[in-house]
Amino acid sequence: MGWPVWIRDGSEVEPSLYAADFRRLGEQVDELLAAGCRVFHFDTGDGHFVPPVTIGPVVLRSIAEGIHAVGGVLDCHLMVTDPAHHFEEFAASGADSVTFHVEATDDPARVAAEARGHGLAVGVSLSPGTSPEEAATAAEAAAADLVLLMSIWPGYSGQSFMPESVGRVERLAELVSCPIQVDGGVGPSNARALRDAGASLLVAGSAIFSDPEPAGAYRRLAALVA
């Protein structure tokens, strides 16, 4: 399965499960599925590439079956120093794609080939300090299915959106032909501008899960960019 078939109506809002209430994770996933959500963003941090250790395969396994049963997918953002080391376990735990950071490898083609060897779609991510040009070169080498532009420094949910990210998306859109994903501080105040700049996958953590009704927040955000 390649990325374009995951994007319905030109854009897709992806709840970032890192911001979920983990006491009620299954319930919140079910509510989002019932609201029509089919693409879920799953953030793994290793405590090395980014300061925090976040969530990993054990949590992925607990939700993958229910998501796949209705045709949903798990899009895994690996904020880790050695992404290829984790691919086999992510694939076995229900991941559909893995996105690794440009800053974590000097051989994106090799890392992408390893991911595809496990049946995973491939994303390439750039942090705010990396130029769109450098990311585009890596994405081309990897034949990436998506490029993830970070609009915060990776590591934590709930940070403020960096406004210069809109211009960075515009520049990236001139350089790559695969879908562009934006992650970090995305919400009602910037989602349309990001879509208009060329992003088609909009990751939202706190904009969805800090709402008392995450499914309602998902629906409103998805309607805003439809």
Q: Which residues bind Zn ion (CB under 5 A)?
A: 43, 77, 183
Binding pattern to ligand DX5, positions 151-180, x when CB under 6 A?
Answer: -x-xxxxxx---------------------
Output the CA angle 56-148-77, nearest 5 degrees: 5
212 contacts: CB under 8 Å, gap ≥ 6? none
Q: What is the DSSP string of 18-72?
A: GGS-GGGHHHHHHHHHHTT--EEEEEEEBSSSSSSB---HHHHHHHHHHHHHTT-
The distance of closest approach from Cβ of residue 4 to ligand DX5 in the complex, given in angstroms and rounded to an integer, is 21
Calculate the dihedral angle through the C-alpha atoms of 182, 122, 47, 212, rounding to the nearest 10 degrees: 40
Q: How far is the CB of 160 from ligand DX5 (least distance, A)?
A: 9
Catalytic machinery residues? 43, 183
Residue nearest to Zn ion (CB): 77
* For Zn ion, the closer CB: 42 or 87: 42
Q: Which is nearer to Zn ion, 103 or 183 (CB)?
A: 183
Which listed range, 135-143, 147-155, 165-173, 211-219, lies at the site for ligand DX5 (CB under 6 A)?
147-155
Phi-psi category of residue 47: left, alpha or beta, with phi > 0 → left and psi -120 to 50 → alpha: left
* Residue 130 binds ligand DX5, judged by CB under 6 A: no
Extract the tokens encoding 210. Answer: 């800090």
Cβ at position 70, least distance to Zn ion in Å: 22
Chain positions contacting ligand DX5, by CB under 6 A: 16, 18-19, 41, 43, 77, 79, 152, 154-159, 183-186, 203-207
